[in-house]
Structure 1
Amino acid sequence: MTGLVFLGGGGSEAAEAALWAEAFPAGSRVVIWPFAHRAADDRRAAGAWATEALLAIGVEDVDVWVTTEPALDRRLLDQLGVRRRRDLDGVDVVAVPGGNTFDLLQALREAGLLDLLHAHLLRGGSLYGGSAGAVLAGADVDLARAADPDDVGTTDTRGLDLVHGHDVLPHWTDDQEAAARRHSRASRRSVLAIPERGGVVVAPDGTARSVGPDDVQVITAERTVRRAVGEEWSLR
């Protein structure tokens, strides 16, 4: 991986403003994958929200991929009001917003888009993951069961593993600490816990940085380490 990974806690664009300012500089070319929603209308709504929020910060070149299918009636695309490209050539950032983590993983895996995303990162492109998209970037998504129903019956819960062996827990609140510690003890993986008003940037060398405005936590079976806004540390 040579691209940056931006992990959001799942709050609004205002709550994640510091992270968005870094992830989506003005003039960026962005593709939105709203596949944490099953229905096309829900994907369209998630894409419209993200597009409007990006326009507000000066990002105008935005594509929303509503379907993972390789062939789609052009008239349907026109009705949905979106464009769609089947590759990521020239794309700066792939944005994966929230929804159901298990639906997201299944959709991307079945369509072969996980490989496409890895190739994008290897070329130096970036990934923004918010909520379900942030969980997906971790080593495993199983900890999402506390919040998301697994109606698709996921048996292989491996994530993208872009956070150097950590699992990612967005929407973090302090009352989740005991559950996160139990998860770490059972999985033998650290948990990167991100509040809704927080974000983390992960560099290719495994350096992480908390961008705030709220601190993040790294939770293991033995302890919790608070990472203050602006602090850098190694995930390795």
Structure 2
Amino acid sequence: MGALYLSGGGDREQTLAIDREFAGELAGGKSLLYLPMAMDPGDISYEACYEWIKSVFVPLGVQDITMWVDFKGKTMEDLKRYSAVYIGGGNTFSLMHTILQSDFHVHLSAFKEEGGMIYGGSAGAIVMGSHIATCIHMDDNDVQLKTRDGLGFLNDFSIWCHYEEENDPLIHQFIQAYRKPVIALSEETGLKIQSGKMEILGTKPAHTFDRNQMKRVIEPGRCI
């Protein structure tokens, strides 16, 4: 079973502590696959996305970085050539639509089960949870995605990214509507899931909300 890394979003300075730990797992020349499909190339080009991912991880020692901009013709054998997958931010609905349309979620799940590492940032983190309606306050569903189910890689938890305390009423509304517990990650907060353990990374605490909307603060280095 591979490790799953999530971050609440933010710039490379805000995610540095999370990125450094992830990059440490790629020591020895291991390869990274970057998937920027949550991003609208009309807003930011994929070429610019690739320059960004290199600016994040090359200084941390990750030299072998490949980018895919679609899943056409991609198989599990193609995916297994890489040690880790990084799924970037953008529009959560668009990302989930692209994943489901291509059945890439099947390959991604198998990749994780076979020991591959996955890093999800912002939208890439939200799709890892049980329910993606945690994004509706910031993302438009222009792709008309009907399902709100996520990949379910964190048992029943859903992920709330770019968390600020004023989001609490919206989180309460989400829990009332969908009866899902929430892990809220700020832009300097991350999460590592491995062997059933969920550890908080980064420089700021995570916040969890159970189905009764009870809120807990969990400091970096602690486990949920």
Q: Give the secondary-structure state (helix, strand or coil) at the position aligned to 2:202.
A: coil
> What are the within-5 Å matches in structure 2 for residues 141-160 of structure 1?
141-160=132-151
Distance in 2 separating the partners of 1:107 and 1:47: 19
Compute the displacement of 1:51 (Å): 2.0
Matched, 1:93 2:96: no
Q: Supply the AA of the counterpart residue of 1:34.
A: P
Aligned to 2:207: 217
Match of 2:56 among 29, 50, 53: 53
SS in 2 for 1:232: coil
Q: Structure 1 residue 187 and structure 2 residue 178: aligned?
A: yes
SS in 1 for 2:12: coil
TM-score by length of 2: 0.91
Which of 17, 29, 36 is equivalent to 2:38?
A: 36
Classify the secondary structure of the residue corresponding to 1:150. coil
Q: Deviations over 1:22-48 (max 9, x none)?
A: 212233310001110243863332222
Q: CA deviation at 1:19?
A: 1.1
1:62-141 pair list within 5 angstroms? 62-70=65-73, 87-141=78-132
Letter in 2 for 1:180: I
Distance 2:48 2:140 in 1: 21
Instruction: Please tell me whether the aligned partners of residues 40 and 90 of structure 2 are also in contact (alpha carbons under 8 angstroms).
Output: no
Counterpart Cα distance in 1 of 2:45 and 2:127: 19
Is 1:175 equivalent to 2:166 in the alignment? yes
Q: Is residue 50–residue 67 contact of structure 2 (8 Å, CA) maintained in 1?
A: yes
More displaced 10-residue stretch of structure 1: 216-225 or 149-158 = 216-225
Q: Shift of the alpha carbon at 1:86?
A: 6.8
Q: Secondary structure at the match of 2:79?
A: coil
Residue identity in the other structure for 2:218: R
Give the partner amino acid of 2:101: E
Amino acid at match of 1:136: V
- Contact 1:100/1:148, CA 8 A, preserved across alignment: yes
Percent of aligned pairs with the same residue?
A: 24
Structure 1 residues 67 and 44: CA distance shift in structure 2, 3 A? farther
Indicate the RMSD between aligned Cα atoms, in angstroms: 1.8
CA contact (8 A) 1:70 1:86 kept: no
- Kept after mapping to 1: 8 A contact 2:133/2:174: no
The Cα offsets for residues 141-160 of structure 1, whole Å up to 9 and x where unpaired, read as 11211100000111112111
Q: Give the match for residue 196 of structure 1.
A: 187
- Give the secondary-structure state (helix, strand or coil) at the position aligned to 1:32: strand
**TM norm structure 1:** 0.87
Q: Which residue of 2 aligns with 1:22?
A: 21
Could you tell me how far apart the structure 2 residues matched to 1:28 and 1:20 are? 15
Count of residues paired in the alignment: 218
User: Is the contact made by 1:35 and 1:108 (CA closer than 8 Å) also made in structure 2?
Assistant: no
